[in-house]
Structure 1
Amino acid sequence: MARKVGIYTRISRDDEGDAMGVARQQQDCERLADLRSWQAVKIYEDNDVSAFKRNVVREEFELMLKDLRAGLIDGIVAYDLDRLARQPRDLERLIEIFDERPKSEFATVTNDVNLGTPDGRTMARIMVAFANKSSHDASRRIKRKHLELAQQGKDSGGPAPYGWRKDDRTKVDPDAARAIREAQQEILAGVRIGTIRTRWWEQGLGNPRAGTKRMAHHHVEHILTNPRLVGYRTYHGEILTGASGEPVKGEWEPINTVAEWEAVCAAVTERKLQQRPGKLLARKYLLSGIARCGLCKTKIRGQINQRRKPGSKATKYTYQCSVVNGGCGKVARVGEPVDKLIAELVLEEQREKAAALGAPIQQQWPRESELEAVQADINQLIEAEKTKQITVSTLLQLLPTKEKERDELKLDRARFYKDQKQAEAQVRSGELSLAEFFDLPVERQQEIVLHSLSAVMIHPAGRGRRIFDPSLIDPVWR
């Protein structure tokens, strides 16, 4: 009976995404299996996966080891030993299995290493050690090259980040840039990143991997706060600064101004600081946590009305004072007409305010010259040390104070532009129709309501009353 073997193929980078490299390896391995009269029963393919990086899990490699240990396959065929292992610990795991199952087969296309013999294992260990060193050397050269490119403001290649064209990553993709700006406006208006993430996934935005997996929360956050948006060059996640102390500018078109980008970054950071430990729960209903019971003054939350008529598919929600949440349980109101009434009142009030105030005046941060002066002092100190006018010790005594002052000023600038952009978004809310208001994410709706109201008091309707009475809904204006 022919021995059943698994074929393992791997390539570290597949920039084209066509899997041609692993396909060629598979063909050569299948020919070798035929020559040995082995039956290839399964292909284990790790395409675009590194065997050198320690934090990378090769799912097919792990499955292959598991199948080999369980006896589901009798051996392995690979194109080369370095396709299987570039870390000695991975080779030792494989050797352990060959210790447990000494009759297992092993073959590679490029050389003949027998993992069943002491000499073969010694040779394999030497080969993997050299492959590991080669990867270390290549990694060191690549890192040095990328740092040099970063210092010159040049791009380092790879897939284009979302927001730039795939065929020319220095040019902005208009559709993607528009999606980013719209999402940033939503962030400033109070919309959660989780809501944006869900919408992007439904619309196929944001370069989701493989087109099917939803992007992680931090990926969406990075897209919306990426320093690349304003042209800043980063290295290992940090903004690079030049000899003048100013951020290094990259050779690509920006999407945001510095004021816009800093406002979004400040809004994201501020929200993180305000969140309680754990995940922030998304609101489902407009007045959840805003409405209060007219009798006991406890906060009211929306909930689905479980009492439906037989055969009815309609799902209604109510604002119910709950005993569970410390309330009296004596007040409840169908939610939809309450939401509609409050939305109409708030939009009308904000339209009147917008008409009275007119368009918001764009203001420049008043302390810009102060920041420039501090940065000039820092540059002067660094230049004085370079020209030996002061010692390194003196520089390190004077520099931290100036750097702290600069960072505090930058934070103040970010807050200033964040408040300005949020005010602009609030003025624009007065232009919304009722239908447009309810098309917004519920967090944005709540932000608009809370700009005008501090609470909504819902009073009891009395027994038997079924007609909605607006006089029993009492908005508390700010």
Structure 2
Amino acid sequence: MKIAIYVRISEDHTGEGRGVRRQREDCIKLAGLRGWTVVEVIEDNDLSAAGTRFRPGFERLLELMSTQQVSGIVAWTWDRLERNRRDSLRLIDAGQKSRSVISLVRGPEIDMTTPAGRLSADVLASVARHEIELKSERKRRADEQAAAEGRKIPGGIRRFGFEHDMTHRPVEAEAIRWAAKAVLAGTSLGRVASEWDARGVVSPMSKRNGAPSPWRAGSTIRTLRRPTLAGLYTFRGEIIGKAQWEPIIEEQAWWSMQTLLNDPSRRGTIQQLLTGIARCAISDCGLPTTWAGPHATQPYFRYRCPNVRHYHRKVHPIDEYVVRELLDGLSTPELRVQRARRIILTDTDLTATTDRIYRELAQLADAYAAKELSLRKMTDRTMNLNIELNAVRRAAADVPRAVLLRELITGLDGIHAWNSLDIQHQRLVVDSLMSIKLRSQGRGSQVFSPDSIQIAWRN
């Protein structure tokens, strides 16, 4: 009798298909004992039969049966063949029409030509699905217990920055800390991705062929958005409290970074010092400055008001004047310290407040589970706590940025220190210390006039 062998493994994390090879060897041995001729060995590796994904091997098996190229199938167990109702019905129907026999290494031999054989197949399929549902329920309960205790849910890929046991992987953790500081300073995600590639840090998420994927802005932002970096635990997409592992970056810094990452104005990288910072000096305008590139009649970069009738100004002399005024105002250590102290740091103990809120949220969940609290009371109290938590998070978001600004300002001891900063750091310093307004110098004027720029130091 001509038969086909079907093998499948639902998860093969090594990618080496060892489970499939073991199944194949036992199936070939069984076929040999029965004196059957193996026409084809069909393999679906690393594809689960429980879902709805297309399985090319399974489709090939049905094709061989329907065209009567084989009159029998050998598999390891029934749940290697299928574990969803749709595929079960298709397999039983194909077996009946092709008058096939299904023989299992760990199971009976089923004659699909008889009602008793088809009943046996249906019962085996139902038992397999029942076992999957029980396994899924056990995993769900285990995951809920792990979430309640702030532990990592078992399984899954390694998180970037962490080992499998959630201890830090030093090189990756340092790259994340650098990225957090860079994003808070205004560095683009594309530049962060390029820096990570240059450092040789590789994401645990790799291509199907095993080759590491280069970092992109999209994969970088997804990584930096993960609450696990701040030692926060999530369950079903919601942050539910502090985790048991050590954070890579402080929670306040992480929330501050999320505020910046959610800012729609971050699209693209601004390359001009005063774009969006300086404003139009005309009293009824006040729009933020945009910029335009060189063209045939004006071969230089220009600042301009969105209302094009108000001004078009050369970038270079304006930037030069603003930087000179800035450094003059920071010319001594005393002046730099004085300016830096005006960057406000909150005095609220934000960490203690968030810890208290997380504890109260956990207590509410426990009380509701123990039926000591009604759903309405739990929902109302949870909503109020979340409002308080969001207010604390907004306050926390400003703290790391303020600390960074103080460091940048106190270190500006001259033009060389200024030139060592990238454009995003420079913009951050100017925007925090100065209010700048631009106006036209008048039609045809070619000589730069400082009177066309209004600069006021922020209090």
Count of aligned positions: 430
Distance in 2 (CA, whole Å) between partners of 1:4 and 1:317 is 77
Secondary structure of 1:38's aligned partner: strand
CA contact (8 A) 2:206 2:213 kept: yes
Q: 1:267-346 to 2 correspondence within 5 Å?
A: 267-269=257-259, 272=262, 275=264, 281-283=267-269, 285-286=271-272, 299-303=289-293, 318-319=301-302, 327=308, 341=320, 344-345=323-324
Change (3 A) 1:16 1:191: same
Matched, 1:261 2:262: no
Q: 1:238-253 to 2 correspondence within 5 Å?
A: 238-240=238-240, 247=241, 249-250=243-244, 252-253=245-246
Q: Which residue of 2 aligns with 1:125?
A: 122
1:146 to 143, 146, 150: 143
CA contact (8 A) 1:263 1:414 kept: no
Distance in 2 (CA, whole Å) between partners of 1:162 and 1:102 is 51
Cα distance, 1:137 vs structure 2: 0.8
Change (3 A) 1:133 1:300: same
1:189 to 185, 190, 198: 185
Q: 1:70-469 to 2 correspondence within 5 Å?
A: 79-92=76-89, 98=94, 102=98, 110=106, 112=109, 122-158=119-155, 159-166=157-164, 169-191=165-187, 193=189, 196-197=192-193, 199-200=195-196, 203-210=200-207, 211-213=211-213, 220-221=220-221, 223-240=223-240, 247=241, 249-250=243-244, 252-256=245-249, 260-265=250-255, 267-269=257-259, 272=262, 275=264, 281-283=267-269, 285-286=271-272, 299-303=289-293, 318-319=301-302, 327=308, 341=320, 344-345=323-324, 348=327, 351=330, 354-357=336-339, 364-365=347-348, 392=373, 397=377, 403-430=382-409, 431=411, 433-434=417-418, 436-438=420-422, 446-452=427-433, 457=438
Distance in 1 (CA, whole Å) between partners of 2:323 and 2:83 is 65
Matched, 1:65 2:59: yes
Change (3 A) 1:332 1:101: farther
Cα distance, 1:345 vs structure 2: 4.7
CA contact (8 A) 1:68 1:74 kept: no
Q: Which residue of 2 aligns with 1:46?
A: 45
Distance in 2 (CA, whole Å) between partners of 1:117 and 1:143 is 39
Cα distance, 1:62 vs structure 2: 4.5
Cα distance, 1:38 vs structure 2: 1.4
Cα distance, 1:86 vs structure 2: 1.2
Cα distance, 1:406 vs structure 2: 3.6
Change (3 A) 1:123 1:427: same
Cα RMSD (Å)? 5.6
Secondary structure of 2:248's aligned partner: coil
Q: Which residue of 2 aligns with 1:22?
A: 20
Aligned residue type for 1:173: R
More displaced stretch, 281-290 vs 123-132: 281-290
Cα distance, 1:412 vs structure 2: 2.8
Aligned residue type for 2:172: A
Cα distance, 1:134 vs structure 2: 0.5
CA contact (8 A) 1:46 1:58 kept: no
Structure 1 unaligned blocks of 5 or more? 241-246, 308-315
CA contact (8 A) 1:289 1:301 kept: no
CA contact (8 A) 1:290 1:300 kept: no
Cα distance, 1:435 vs structure 2: 5.2
CA contact (8 A) 1:74 1:105 kept: no
Cα distance, 1:182 vs structure 2: 2.0
Aligned residue type for 2:271: Y
Aligned residue type for 2:348: W
Cα distance, 1:135 vs structure 2: 0.9
Cα distance, 1:373 vs structure 2: 8.5
TM-score normalised by length of structure 1: 0.64
Secondary structure of 2:8's aligned partner: strand
CA contact (8 A) 2:3 2:74 kept: no
